[in-house]
Chains A and B, each alone.
Chain A
Amino acid sequence: MPSKLAVRLRALGRFAKGNPPIVMPWTLQRMGLLNMNRRNADYIMRYNKRKFYPLVDDKLQTKRLAVDAGIAVPELYGVIEIEHQIRDLPDMLEGRTDFVIKPAHGAGGAGIMVISGRRGKKYIRASGVIISESEVNHFISNILSGMYSLGGMPDKAILEYRVKPHSIFDAVSYQGVPDIRTIVFRGVPVACMVRLPSRMSDGKANLHQGAVGAGIDLVTGKTVDGVWLDQVLDMHPDTGNPIRGIEIPEWDKLLELAARSYELTQLGYLGVDVVLDRDHGPLVLEYNARPGLNIQLANQMGLLGRLQAVEKLEEIPESAEARVELVRRLFGQPG
């Protein structure tokens, strides 16, 4: 496995061969690449009302609202709110041996522990590492003390269903659960990518930790090329299997799920994270009021053009189905 350093060294070597170390701003402009300042000033601040933030920042609240709205989410097993409740953990699990512990106010995938089984009194993590009960308890109390929450505020720990990844991505992921990120602008999906865990990302679906991002064509629901760190590639760095051309099952359902999230969250510029479960199909994992910009790299396409196309619309259809239809109409032409 190439280490991060080795990859960086290789990247350095590429510059020596004539690849530029930076890209010119007008090139990015021509590609319509959305940047951080503009995302914040023109989209997040304009379309995301602050009062709706707590709703997506608190995953527990999101989950409950989603259930009410009929949006599929991983089943909630229990909530630990105070230190004292940690000892009730076995009761909450009701004998289940695989589950996920995560903070209600986590950010960037931090503070998530995936338990895949038990061995006596000990737990087995998804990575295969066996950890003691006291380590799990300490992990939970760290969550409660606010170690993973924004601003270090005291937090709650959520226990929920461990997603069993759909086999469609088995060939192109290394451990972990791939998740599908969709940017939904004014209720209209505008871009989509799947984040495939790699050995370097340690099973996490986080691009800057080394996961592979593969763009997904909104109309066909098929993957295009992927990016990994600084490279564009068409096969997974660990498994060597092709990334391009994977057809996402239940694509229309997934798009509709993403589109419907707009009504739920009231956020005009929204990131929807969906996982494909083997048994339950697309499940919304979480929402993000400040979705990142890497989706553009994964798709090798700037977001600005599509955002402006949606911005120009005088009226956005009220039903999610119509908005999914709109996606085909707006972004149907190839390229």
Chain B
Amino acid sequence: MKNLHLYVLSLMLTVVGVTLCAYKVQRLGMPLSPTDQTEVWTVEARISFSGRNRAAKVDFFYPSAPPGFAVIDEDFVSSKFGLATETEGVNRKALWAARNVRGSQSLYYRIVLAEERSANRTRTEPKPRYPEVPEFPEPERSAVFSLLDDVRSESADIASFTRELLQRFNDPTPDEDVSVLREATDDTLGRVREIQQILAGARIPSRVVQVLRLEDGMRQGTLQPWLEVYNGSEWLSFDPATGDGGFPDNYLVWMSDDNPLVSVEGGNPATVEFSVARSNREVMGVAQQRARLIDSSVLEFSLFSLPLATQNVYKTLLTVPLGAFMVVLLRNFIGVKTFGTFMPILIALAFRETELLWGIVLFTTLVALGLILRFYLERLKLLLVPRLASVLIIVILLMAGVSVVSHKLGLESGLSIALFPMVILAMTIERMSMTWDESGAHEALMAGLGSLFVASLGYLVMNNEWLSYLIFVFPELLLVLLALCLLSGRYTGYRLSELRRFRSASLPKQN
């Protein structure tokens, strides 16, 4: 194949660019659009207890990779206590210790979470052993087995089995078996444990999970037990009160075990209160913070690691390739005539400051005035370089003049003319007047209008909030742009303008 090398190169560039971009979107949760906001929950656990004038140790479980959430930030406030953290199975545990503890004490744990609906919520760890069938005393024993038989006959797998069991167990008008079983206990945790026992009767592994319902403004929340059963490959969660599967949104899994949430050694038993607040944050900030937590080197070497002022420079600079690619399209596929290849892009950059309409007005005014003066200079028969310098000086004088006049008139937009690239303007005026002389006013005006058109379009593309955001956050997309430019470099088809240029190729003869 003729351009195989080029195709392979472009493909590689595209793959690298897209892969990096996909990694940042998928793994780091960087959003593809700038206005995305996400809900952020701040959960604070306050552990209070009173000391007994001696050394005290506090063990406290805190969330570890809760499903449906991304941990953005967490910290501990422990005053004089020493803090150590450790991982215990799938849970994480904070160990506070202090030598002489007296009076009432408060320890704080704070976690900031972002919702992550798209994330994979499957929980597979740890792999449990299959429980032995417990020794139930009568009459429980026959109640359990008769209930299990009923449930088994109306279910297909472990998920439906559990759901059916929970529904029967929670039936407001329970049958005899369930009544017997429900008599044993009244509180929720006790019931969940009872259900665990019944499930063990069918040799289904299960565990208690402690969840916190997140509600904005909640001040004294507590954990509630939730049920999870193991189906051989993953843990399935069920609302123990209804049998509904899964964790509802806004339910935070705090720990996966039946252990006490907090235990105190050398002090009175502790109480834990949860307070919750919700806020909205920009997704980008969240993603950055997250990447910092999971220690991703991608962000370490991204443009975000630069000082803010430099970042802003790059925000502008990175849009230039977009403009350049647009020029490629307009020139090689459409066939628009312009003065200079990338001159319109520089004009478009200037338009960023002036806004489009004012940019066009100011540009046209400057070029028109410049052209008139340039035609006058033509009569003086100056040599090239002095003439160019003269045009440059005239352009600057005109810019200053326009600024002063518009300021006096109260048109502040006129001031932004100062940001026009004057050398480029001078060259444009020079080339336009040359074209005017050599090929006539028509050609000159067409190319002038072409330049203005490309500049305006360039402004729209380069100033597009979404595109400039995308290219700044995912600069690797420039590789894709590069690939597209390389491919365009071998486009040998007709330009749109050629369909018109060559139209006489098929015209009949006329006289």
Tell me the complex Cα distance, A234–B510, Å.
8
- Chain A residues positioned under 8 Å from B500 (CB to CB): 21-23
Whether, in the assembled complex, B499 has its beta carbon less than 8 Å from a beta carbon of chain A, the answer is yes
Indicate which residue in A142, A147, A232 contacts B507 across the interface (CB closer than 8 Å).
A232
Nearest CB on B from A263, distance (A): 28
Most buried by B among A21, A23, A110, A138: A23
Nearest CB on A from B190, distance (A): 80
Whether, in the assembled complex, B505 has its beta carbon less than 8 Å from a beta carbon of chain A, the answer is yes
Whether, in the assembled complex, B438 has its beta carbon less than 8 Å from a beta carbon of chain A, the answer is yes
Interface size counted on chain A using CB atoms at 8 A: 44
Q: Mark A12-51, 1 if CB is under 8 A from B, else 0.
A: 0000000111111101110101011110011000000000
Do the beta carbons of A35 and B507 come within 8 Å of each other? no
Do the beta carbons of B503 and A37 come within 8 Å of each other? no
Do the beta carbons of A28 and B384 come within 8 Å of each other? no
Whether, in the assembled complex, B493 has its beta carbon less than 8 Å from a beta carbon of chain A, the answer is yes
Do the beta carbons of A41 and B490 come within 8 Å of each other? yes
- Chain B residues positioned under 8 Å from A28 (CB to CB): 494, 498-499, 502, 505
Whether, in the assembled complex, A96 has its beta carbon less than 8 Å from a beta carbon of chain B, the answer is no
Tell me the complex Cα distance, A108–B435, Å.
12
With A24-B499, A25-B493, A25-B494: A31-B505 Cβ-Cβ less than 8 Å: yes
Whether, in the assembled complex, A145 has its beta carbon less than 8 Å from a beta carbon of chain B, the answer is yes
Say whether chain A's binding surface is mostly helix, strand, loop, or mixed: mixed
Do the beta carbons of B440 and A4 come within 8 Å of each other? yes
Tell me the complex Cα distance, A29–B503, Å.
13
Q: Which of B422-450 contact A (CB under 8 A)?
A: 434, 438-440, 442
Q: Of the 9-residue stretches A58-66, A223-231, A251-259, A313-321, which lies at the interface with chain B? A: A223-231
Tell me the complex Cα distance, A225–B442, Å.
27
Q: Which of B254-292 contact A (CB under 8 A)?
A: none
Tell me the complex Cα distance, A27–B502, Å.
10
Do the beta carbons of B442 and A23 come within 8 Å of each other? no
Whether, in the assembled complex, B130 has its beta carbon less than 8 Å from a beta carbon of chain A, the answer is no
Whether, in the assembled complex, B495 has its beta carbon less than 8 Å from a beta carbon of chain A, the answer is yes
* Identity of the chain A residue whose Cβ is nearest the Cβ of B3 in the assembled complex: A41
Do the beta carbons of B439 and A27 come within 8 Å of each other? no
Q: Which of B475-511 contact A (CB under 8 A)?
A: 489-495, 498-500, 502-511
Tell me the complex Cα distance, A208–B453, Å.
23
Whether, in the assembled complex, A332 has its beta carbon less than 8 Å from a beta carbon of chain B, the answer is no
* Identity of the chain A residue whose Cβ is nearest the Cβ of B383 in the assembled complex: A145
With A27-B506, A110-B438: A37-B383 Cβ-Cβ less than 8 Å: no
Tell me the complex Cα distance, A132–B385, Å.
24
- Chain B residues positioned under 8 Å from A233 (CB to CB): 509-511
Do the beta carbons of B503 and A208 come within 8 Å of each other? no
Nearest CB on B from A153, distance (A): 10
* Identity of the chain B residue whose Cβ is nearest the Cβ of A231 in the assembled complex: B510
* Identity of the chain B residue whose Cβ is nearest the Cβ of A144 in the assembled complex: B383
Indicate which residue in A23, A25, A33, A138 contacts B381 across the interface (CB closer than 8 Å).
A138
Do the beta carbons of B495 and A300 come within 8 Å of each other? no
Whether, in the assembled complex, B91 has its beta carbon less than 8 Å from a beta carbon of chain A, the answer is no
Whether, in the assembled complex, A297 has its beta carbon less than 8 Å from a beta carbon of chain B, the answer is yes
Tell me the complex Cα distance, A225–B498, Å.
21
With A35-B498, A37-B492, A41-B489: A22-B509 Cβ-Cβ less than 8 Å: no
Whether, in the assembled complex, A221 has its beta carbon less than 8 Å from a beta carbon of chain B, the answer is no
Do the beta carbons of B509 and A37 come within 8 Å of each other? no
Q: Which of B209-225 contact A (CB under 8 A)?
A: none
Do the beta carbons of A152 and B384 come within 8 Å of each other? yes
Whether, in the assembled complex, B170 has its beta carbon less than 8 Å from a beta carbon of chain A, the answer is no
Whether, in the assembled complex, A209 has its beta carbon less than 8 Å from a beta carbon of chain B, the answer is yes
Whether, in the assembled complex, A189 has its beta carbon less than 8 Å from a beta carbon of chain B, the answer is no
Do the beta carbons of B381 and A297 come within 8 Å of each other? no
- Chain B residues positioned under 8 Å from A31 (CB to CB): 505-506
Indicate which residue in A21, A22, A42, A108 contacts B492 across the interface (CB closer than 8 Å).
A42
Whether, in the assembled complex, B390 has its beta carbon less than 8 Å from a beta carbon of chain A, the answer is no
Nearest CB on A from B238, distance (A): 64
Whether, in the assembled complex, B160 has its beta carbon less than 8 Å from a beta carbon of chain A, the answer is no
Do the beta carbons of A235 and B492 come within 8 Å of each other? no
Indicate which residue in A21, A23, A135 contacts B505 across the interface (CB closer than 8 Å).
A23
- Chain B residues positioned under 8 Å from A36 (CB to CB): 335, 495, 498
Name 12 extra pairs, CB < 8 A, besides A22-B503, A41-B491: A19-B507, A28-B505, A35-B492, A36-B495, A37-B493, A138-B381, A145-B384, A145-B385, A147-B434, A231-B507, A232-B510, A233-B510
Q: Can you report 23 A-B residue pairs in the complex whose CB atoms are below 8 A from each other?
A: A4-B442, A20-B503, A21-B500, A23-B506, A25-B493, A27-B506, A28-B498, A28-B499, A31-B506, A36-B335, A37-B491, A37-B493, A138-B381, A142-B384, A145-B385, A146-B384, A147-B384, A147-B434, A227-B504, A230-B507, A296-B502, A297-B504, A297-B505
